[in-house]
Structure 1
Amino acid sequence: MKSLFRILGIMLLLVAVALTSAIITMQLVIHGAEVSVPDMRGKSIAEADGESAHLGLRMQVANHFYSAAIPAGDIMDQTPAPGTRVRTGWPLRVTESLGAQKVTVPALTGMQDRIAMLEVHRAGLDLGSVAYLPWPQAVSGAVLAQTPTAHAKDVASPNVQLLVAAPADEDTPTQNALVMPNLVGKIFTGAALTVTHAGLRLAPVKEVAVAIPPVGSVNSTAAPRPPVLTGSVLAQTPLAGYQVTPGTTVTLTVAK
């Protein structure tokens, strides 16, 4: 009987040792899967990419902006922030500097949309959003407005956005009715240009402070949310797609 109890005691001890070892091993594995995000700002894309790969992070170039202070090809900003602890395999989104603006923004207003798009690419710029708006005073397909404006200086982004005259809607009950464009996500200057060129009135802007989104738990598999750009439109009234008439007041809520 004593021998049986002795055997059971030894077996329980072995089980306890095995469980303790498994817990310690699991903790080491989890801890080993975490890395501290390095500061990539000011480094070249190639250098940052190599360092990210060494740490097990997936670097992605999310944006490109002009900068007179940061040389072309170097990193301006990053998400997650330096020092954040994340799991290996986590995406590291960076913003690449294009250096000082050297290209000239072409004058596109009045051109047909297809020709304007070709001019954008020919100038070495990227085509941003293209919004179509019924506008009976203009030829269908003609560019009504652009942002940045022609020959603009100190442009932040290489994207050119266009507002194009669309064919009049035959089913529109009011001859001068317009379809409210979607302005959410656009930089305020471009959104304001769209509003004024559409014959609408811009109400005083509502500014809202926006906090940096949390990175999330290291155990989460969801990608971190990109930060909201200062000066971007968060909300609009009337909503996109609503029918409006020239002179309608548009209220924009902008991130500050």
Structure 2
Amino acid sequence: MTTASHPLVGELVDGRYRVLRHIADGGMATVLLATDTRLDRDVALKVMRPDLAADQTFVSRFRREARSAARLSHPNVVPVYDQGEDEGRVFLAMEYVEGRSARELIDAEGALTPRAALDLVESILMGLSVAHDAGYIHRDVKPENVLIADNGQVKVADFGLARAVTSQTATADDGVLYGTVAYLSPEQVERGIADARSDIYAAGLVLFELLTGTRAIEGESPIHIAFQHVHGGVPAPSERVAELPAPLDDLVALATHRDPDERPRDAGQYLESLHAVREELTPGQLDRRPSGAAAAATAGAATLAHPRPSRTRALAATTTADHTPGATAAVPVGTQREDPPSPRRRGRALLAALLVLLLLVGGAGYWYVTTGPGGSVLVPDVAGQTRDEASTTLAEHDLELTEQTAFSEEVAAGSAITSNPPPETELTKGEDVTVVFSKGPERYEVPELAGTTPEEAKAALAERNLALGDATKQWHESVAAGEIISTAPTAGTELKRDEQVAVVVSKGPEPITVPSVKGQSADAAASAIEAAGLAVARADDVYSTTVPEGSVVSQSPASGTLVRGETVTLTVSKGPEMVTVPQVKGLTEAQATQKLEAAGFSVKVDTFFGGILDEVTATRPSGGQSVTKGSTVTILVI
């Protein structure tokens, strides 16, 4: 779209931003150059596409994330000044960066030297690290969102806007989706989730492109490109540019691992790896230009991404008289040349000129110290105003705004609490007024402490400006001794600075005394053990001549303590073992004794007539009778 044909050119958006010209179109918004008429500065105005602006869920996320992005302040981040809606047009006002994008740099110069590539990515990571430390992610890191100012400053753009997008229509119009899909991490493609490691993946792809002059992953369609992210992997830069050192391959591989757990956790950690690789490389390796790399369009000249229109200047008036040497100026008919003035007349004229000059100087001085720049003004009262309102109020009084923030229990977040100097103080025009804006009540969220030790909890609370309170102990079956079971108040509750959080600490599982159930019936014994909170197991029953059948002969363990749910094993009696008395009548005493003892009996011998025949004539109990094993059998020998 050309400048002249864009409908917003010349319009005043939100009663403040005068649109000068069209810059570019993106997948989600149109970028326009505008002048902030309140603060007299140029801004980049992003106006959301009408079809997206009609989606209230999208607009709500856009506004929320834009406010979050506006909190980021770093030289390597394009700051967000304002966001709003005007006649259905949702817009975002950002810093206007004169220069070019990293995409234009690659298109113009091809592969860079390793030093230049590392310098550029180092600036990108510094900007991303500020966001990551603040809990924000970019989600759309790519060369198009990296701006290089004419003074060499590198800035990451589109914080907030990229984060607000949770879904995209699969389209290749204008190459929009190609540019985005080419830098999506595998987890974004497969599961639609992203964290700081997703930004690292994209940064690694940007580094690849700066080193080689080509995209790491190419394809015929967005789906084909996305498939390669998940299943193909990222090639080593040296596969495209053979002379690149191996540490650069490793640096790209570290960021573009398909498993996010194998990547650096955030931009700060990846920045450390980048510094380590830079230290490994020699000056010759850092400054070697890849063979065949595209040269700059104009040697030594920076290519402007969006050159600003030159301002109109007033030209000094010139005469149309012919100044050709020898030419004579014509004198109109009827005009006579006057005689030179006399010295007296020249004196009066000089005096009059001096008086006029004095009046002019005096008048200028008076204007300067009254209504002019040197004049004084009273500081207006801006208490309760927003930042934009306070800035406007001070600008109307020819004063500059300097911001500070502080917590306040009374003043809503974002509103001015006070100013320094205070209202009604007389200042020279152009001086700064420091306005303190409220961050709202000072509150800190109770972290999740369950499973940590009291020492760890104390450190975690100190990081949140909170304190560890009373610690009570109680038995717990699943939380290990010495670890926290719960907190009061619970995790997520917001407290004032230095408020205490009480904790309940586990003493471990409660010990249970093993009940003695020997001699009890099996059912009674099991009930007693289970009532104590223990489990029951039953060993094989055994014969017993002393314990009745069905009663407990023994238990394991027999005493001591166990943890709830542990097992006590019971051995139950089957009663005495019964055996049949063998027939030994007619055998000798020795034979009968041997046979009975082999059957498990004790033998008692009674003789008749001295047992001269050595023959068993009878037994008590008699043969064939069932008796308790181990009983005594008496044999009668004659």
Larger radius of gyration: 2
TM-score (norm 2): 0.17
TM-score (norm 1): 0.40
Tell me which protein shows more helix as a share of its residues: 2
Tell me which protein shows more strand as a share of its residues: 1
Higher relative contact order by CA 8 Å / sep ≥ 6: 1 or 2?
Answer: 1
